A = this chain, B = another copy of it.
Amino acid sequence: MLRIGLIGAGYWGPNLARVLNQSRRTHFSAVCDIDARNVEKITTQYPAVRGFFTVRELLDSGVDAVAIATPISTHFELAKQALEAGKHVLVEKPLAHESVLCEQLVELAERKRLTLMTGHTFIFSPPVIKVKELIDAGELGDLYYMSLSRVNLGLYQKDVDVIWDLAVHDISILLYWLDAMPTEARAFGRACVQKDKNDVAFLWLRFPSGLVANIEISWLSPQKMRRSMIVGSKRMVVYDDIEPSDKVKIYDRGVMVHQPESFGEFQLTYRMGDMVAPNLRNIEPLLTEVEHFAECAETGAIPMTNGAFATRVVRVLEAAVGSVREEPAVRTGVTLA
């Protein structure tokens, strides 16, 4: 059983604590946080867990691995320190705030022969896995486009904008589904409430196959949405994570082009078949994630969301965010106003 310590017990840490305690593959033995109250909450709830106020102490407490749930800007230094101390590392997403730093962590983990994994939890969620299976089995045909919305009111993050906070989920899902990197990435957003921090954004991605994707993210939406539309030549899928049941709906619908017989025009016909909402396993993604990490750390297997995967996610984020900065405020040569 993997002895594991938790670094960071603020907003997200308690969720990891619960699962580390629940899993039979992990022995949750230590926690550290710079805020004593956060440490105390965990040690009160899990009396067998030892509390520390420095990472150094936690690393020296006999753990085999650490889970890092601290602000994004600290991920790199903490993960590096843990790897250098010979610990397997599970870092919350994104792996680091720059892709070059991600690459350094990947290299370090490889050199040390340690498991480096990032907490892209959605990759372990039944509806996301179901869509992946449909794509890989060819059930959807050629993929035309995807449109993903992840909006709600709040929760503003202190150190990152809405792209780094929310789009990271959708990008990880897209890279998992498509097993490919986009050739083009753009973003368009606005800092509405606080200067210099986008709280609404729209991202465009184009993949080598021709598939295009749109991602809509917002901290400023009156209704919560967690909705993905995946449109293929054979079937179309709506994955709505808000739905209490029937989260994945597969529509056997499409448009077919008929060759003109001689000189005529192309004819289109619409195919309207059944809709199926497959029954999905009722498992908790975070628990699956932690058990996958424990298994990889013990066997040396490569995690689904390993450092290389997490680095690609950050690279797409950087490319999209980069496009925001580069674009002129007004397009040259087009006078609209």
Contacts and interface: CB of A to CB of B under 8 A. Distances in A.
Nearest to A207: B337
Contacts of A334: 185, 319, 322
Interface residues of A, number: 80
Interface stretch (A24-32, A117-125, A213-221): A213-221
A253 interface: yes
Contact of A221 (B211, B222, B236): B236
A316 B336 CA distance: 7
Interface in A243-289: 244-246, 249, 251-253, 255, 257, 265-266, 268, 270, 272-279
Interface stretch (A8-16, A61-69, A72-80, A192-200): A192-200
Contacts of A193: 144, 233, 255, 257, 268
Interface string A25-48: 000000000000000000001010
A246 B220 contact: no
Contact of A255 (B153, B185, B252): B153
A180 B316 CA distance: 34
Contacts of A138: none
B144 A220 contact: yes
A294 to B, nearest CB: 21
B329 A255 contact: no
Contacts of A188: 186, 204, 206, 212, 214
Contacts of A204: 188, 202
Interface stretch (A85-93, A106-114, A223-231, A297-305): A223-231
Contact of A156 (B45, B242, B268): B268
A337 B183 CA distance: 6
A35 to B, nearest CB: 15
A337 B182 contact: yes
A270 B155 CA distance: 9
Contacts of A249: 222
B236 A330 contact: no
B221 A158 contact: no
Contacts of A337: 180-183, 208
B190 A144 contact: yes
A216 B144 contact: no
15 contacts: A45-B45, A145-B200, A147-B202, A153-B255, A154-B268, A154-B270, A180-B337, A184-B329, A188-B214, A194-B257, A194-B268, A272-B279, A274-B279, A315-B336, A319-B334
Given A275-B277, A275-B279, A323-B331, 11 more contacts: A144-B192, A145-B200, A153-B270, A183-B330, A184-B331, A184-B336, A200-B231, A222-B229, A222-B238, A223-B238, A224-B245
In the A-B complex, the 10 residue pairs with the smallest Cβ-Cβ separation, listed nearest first, are A222-B251, A222-B236, A144-B192, A275-B277, A181-B337, A188-B204, A202-B214, A190-B212, A181-B336, A47-B47
